[in-house]
Every structure is written in structure tokens, then in C-alpha cells.
Amino acid sequence: MCAATNVVENKEARLPRQVKDALQCLASEWDDIVDSKALQVIPIKGAMTNEVFQIKWPTRGNDTSRKVIARIYGEGVEVFFDRNDEIRTFEFMSKYGQGPRLLGRFPNGRIEEFLRARTLSAADLRAPDISALIAAKLRAFNELNMPGQKKVWLWDRLRKWLDAAKRLCPVEEAQAIHLEAFLEEISKSITLIDYEYATYNPVAYDIANHFCEMASDYHTETPHIVDYSKYPGLEERSRFLRIYLESAGEKPGDTEVKQLLEDVEKYTLASHLTWGVWGIISEYVNEIDFDYKEYAKQRFQQYWKQKPQLLGSP
């Protein structure tokens, strides 16, 4: 899903005691901080799984401040992933310059390095120069030798999420969105997508997610609304894929680009299923102000709409 977006200053925002203790312990190690307890809390809006805050302390001289990010995990969202695996991956990516450094942990969250940057807008994603940078960065990420088991996690995770959604969702609602049918849909997808188009398996899914995200704009008053008329066209998608392949020094031919393009389009179905089920679960375990249910309905609708065209089956 999306990164955090707008920053809203709120000096009165309250943090749990264990979070404050962890932040003060970290700040006490820095000699330039005036008072480790004099922290300023700035909620960062837009995160849809965790609560995220920018924390800063005044420092001696030059009218500057020390800044970090405090990420408090959402209640009940442990169904989505293993926190130990997440931290292990987070530390690995940091080591290779693919993300902020991990500065500290507390029972229900972590403290991260503050990176001076700005969140990309929906329009930024379409800018050719920024799109090229994203393609190259994604290729570098995909080539990391990540820790843990070398297996395709997509389908097993989707089954696990679907089981959780069925437990949480009332019977009437589950019937209305055809939740029971999705287990069979997952099995069909594995057969029609994964086995036949295994060459670019995780790559195609990552790129499909990126293309699907371009239909969303989380900087609006209705961030849950998805506008698929903004899904990138054939020329834009092909340009992105060619840059992705070229970023590692390859000289891809038209056939290779076309094949990856076809694989990515099929994996958009997996993306719709994954984030649709995520939305159903989040509706019942997350208190963040976001219309998860409506978001899920839109992802499922797009799945049913695109499936006949992409897989040649009803």
C-alpha cells in the first residue's frame, strides 16, 4: 500500500509510556540534545497499517533539531506478517542502503532514522524521470539476496489472509463479496499465472503492485477511492519495463519486454486479490481513519472485471 503522506504538527499528541521511554533512552545517547525529555511529537497522516510519528528534540547551537520516526504497530495487524521477519528484512535493507536505519525497538513498534525527503504524489509517479528512478530502484531491490527462506510467499500468505477474513467478516457481508469463492480463485490463479509465467514471478508481482498503485491518490479527502482510468497505458508500462530491464546493464529485445508486460498484467489479478482481502481484514482490526471496506470492494470488482480478459476464463 501507500507510504505516509501529510505531516500535521500536534505538540499535545500523546505517546504510550513505553514509546516515550524508548525515545528518551535513545536521545540520552546524543550529546547535542538539550533535554531528552523535551521531545516534540508530529503525527504523520496517511499510514494505513501503523501509527507513524516524527519526533524531534532541540539541540545546542545553530537552531537545529534531532529527528527520528516512531512507528507504532496497529492493533491486530499481526495477522498480516511476522514482525521478526519484518525487522530482519528491515535491517538487511538498511545495511544495503535500501531504507532508513533501525535505531531502536519497543514492544509494539520501532524507531527509525529520519530521512530528509518528500513523499511522492500521484502525479510524481507518472513523471518520466521519477518513473525511471523507481524502475531502477525496484530492480536493485529485486536483486538483493534477502535473508530467510527462498520461496514464493504470495499464495500461502493470501490463503492465510483469506482464512482470517472469513473469521472476521459477518456471513452476510462475506456472501455479498463472494469471499468463499476466492479460495478457488487463488488455486486457479496459481495454475494460470504462477506455473505458466514463473520466469518473472516476484518481479512481475512487484511491478503489478506499482502499476495498480498509480490508480490511487492518497493525498485526497477520499484516499480509499481508486480510479482505474489512471492505470498506466501500454506505452507508459512498456517504457517502465524497458528501463527496469536495462538498469542492470541488459539490452532487452522487444520480445522480452512484451513477455514481461504480459506477466505483469496477469499479476495485477494477484494484486487485486491480495489488497482486497487486506482491506476486509483491516476493516475489523484497524482503527485508522480509512474506508477499508469500500477500498476492498473496488479491488475485488477490478479483479472480476479484468480476469476474463487476462486469463481467458469467466
DSSP-assigned letters across all residues of 259-287: HHHHHHHHHHHHHHHHHHHHHHHHHHH--
Within-domain flag for 251 = yes
Within-domain flag for 3 = no
> How many domains are contained in the chain?
2
Task: Give yes or no: residues 140 and 169 share one domain.
Answer: yes
Query: Length of the chain, please?
Result: 314
Domain span holding position 204? 124-311
Within-domain flag for 5 = no
Task: Give yes or no: residues 233 and 276 share one domain.
Answer: yes
Is residue 69 within 8 A of residue 34, CB to CB? The reply is no
Within-domain flag for 60 = yes
Task: Give yes or no: residues 266 and 186 share one domain.
Answer: yes
Task: Give yes or no: residues 151 and 21 share one domain.
Answer: no
Task: Give yes or no: residues 129 and 107 share one domain.
Answer: no
Within-domain flag for 178 = yes
Final residue of a domain: which of 54, 86, 113?
113
Task: Give yes or no: residues 164 and 307 share one domain.
Answer: yes
Grid cell listed for 219: 493525498
Question: How much is the pLDDT for 12?
Answer: 39
Question: How much is the pLDDT for 2?
Answer: 38
Place of cell 521511554: 21
Task: Give yes or no: residues 254 and 153 share one domain.
Answer: yes
Q: Residue 186: which CATH number?
A: 3.90.1200.10
Within-domain flag for 8 = no
pTM above 0.85, yes or no: no
Given 3-state DSSP classes, what are the helix, strand and coil percentages for the chain, each rounded to the nearest 5?
50, 10, 35
Final residue of a domain: which of 79, 113, 147?
113
Question: How much is the pLDDT for 142?
Answer: 85
Task: Give yes or no: residues 247 and 268 share one domain.
Answer: yes
Task: Give yes or no: residues 53 and 184 share one domain.
Answer: no
pLDDT values of the chain reduced to their tens digit, one per residue, 314 residues: 433 434 444 443 578 899 999 999 999 999 888 888 889 999 887 677 788 899 999 888 766 789 999 998 877 677 787 777 777 888 888 887 778 888 998 888 899 999 887 778 888 999 999 999 999 999 988 888 877 776 778 888 889 999 999 999 999 988 888 888 888 888 787 666 654 444 445 789 999 999 999 999 888 889 999 999 999 999 999 999 999 999 988 889 999 999 999 999 999 999 999 999 999 999 998 888 889 999 999 999 999 999 999 987 66
Task: Give yes or no: residues 104 and 215 share one domain.
Answer: no
Task: Give yes or no: residues 145 and 282 share one domain.
Answer: yes
Determine the 3-state secondary structure of 98 from DSSP: coil
Final residue of a domain: which of 113, 134, 152?
113
d(C-alpha 8, C-alpha 84), whole Å:
30
